[in-house]
Chains A and B, each alone.
Chain A
Amino acid sequence: MRANIVYSRFLFLIAGVLGLLFLTPMYFREERLNADNPPPITHPEFFYGFLGVALACQVLFLVIAIDPVRYRLVIVPAILEKLTYSLAVLILWSQGRVSGPLVFTGFVDLTFGVLFIVSFIALARERWVR
């Protein structure tokens, strides 16, 4: 298997697994998060909506990892998701509206976003055969 395909498979596998490990426990930790990061969440629909959408994205990354050549175009929305979130966190950080640990997640997503771009470019010459 070519190096670009191996790179893409590992990248999306790691992104998906790390995301699932980080996000899934949050479903059961709203009260704990409220205690650790006051003030309490006033709009749970955004909290659980975010978790649902983000979890679905992690499953999407795992699907891409199965066959990065077939799903190369899907990398575009994956890049968009990572970069818009990290940009939003960095802007909120510059306004003093989010704290340190959350900024770390913004940088992690920024890193994955850049690595996704590398994967998208690296797979450009591959052709998927039906």
Chain B
Amino acid sequence: MRFAQRVFFAAGVYGLIVVLPLFAAEGLVARIAPPPPTHPEYYYGLASGALGWQVLYFVVAYDPVRFRPLILLSALAKTGMVATTLLLLAAGRMSLLFAVPVGGDLVFALLFVAAHRAVRDARA
């Protein structure tokens, strides 16, 4: 229980540190990884959706037993992001620079699975 709370609290804090600056960094992205993004709606859509998920992690941290089904869904969401990144990297369509934060997603996906098991064991 404590483990799950700590994992999700840490995931939320890490996510906010990574995601919040995105809302002010479109110009910086264009400079450090040219060409500039041509469809800002996807850039801000990604930032908005990701922001919602970080807040969700705090909600799960508040009561991991009540929100236990969302732990696996969170792990799936993280895994999906990792898979997308790996596929784009393999296709040579993505800068390695953007892949670095996704390494954190992989770590948290594994921790979420461990948290899911820990909550199950705590209930048993």
Instruction: Write the nearest CB–CB distance from A30 to chain B, whole angstroms.
Output: 10
User: Closest B-chain residue to A109, C-beta based?
Assistant: B48
* B50 CB contact (under 8 Å) in A40, A53, A98: A53
State whether B52 touches A81 (Cβ < 8 A): yes
Which B residue's beta carbon lies closest to that of A102? B41
B15 to chain A, nearest CB (A): 11
Given contacts A46-B43, A81-B48, contact A41 B38 (CB under 8 A): yes
Contacts of A42 in B (CB 8 A): 35-38
Q: Are B52 and A80 in contact (CB under 8 A)?
A: yes
Main DSSP-derived SS at the A contact region:
helix
Q: Within the assembled complex, what's the spacing in Å between the Cα atoms of A92 and B43?
A: 11
Given A63-B69, A70-B66, A74-B70, residue A50 in contact with residue B53 (CB < 8 A): no
A85–B51 CA distance with the chains assembled, in angstroms: 10
Known: A52-B84, A56-B77, A77-B55. Contact between A43 and B37, CB under 8 A? Answer: yes
Chief secondary structure at chain B's binding surface: helix
A73:B40 contact, CB within 8 angstroms: no
Does B41 lie within 8 Å of A98, measured CB to CB?
yes
Assess whether B85 is interfacial by the CB under 8 Å rule. yes
**Chain B residues within 8 Å of A10, by CB:** none
Q: How far is the CB of A97 from chain B (nearest CB, A)?
A: 6
45-78 of chain A: CB within 8 A of chain B: 45-50, 52-57, 59-60, 63, 70-71, 73-74, 76-78
- A81 to B49, alpha carbons, bound, how many Å? 5
- Footprint of A on B, CB under 8 Å? 29, 33, 35-56, 59, 62-63, 65-67, 69-70, 73, 76-77, 80-81, 84-85, 88, 93-95, 98
Which residues of A approach B to under 8 Å, CB–CB?
A: 37, 39-50, 52-57, 59-60, 63, 70-71, 73-74, 76-78, 80-81, 84-85, 88-89, 92, 97-98, 102, 128, 130
**Which 3 A-B pairs have CB atoms at the shortest separation, nearest pair first?**
A81-B52, A53-B49, A88-B44
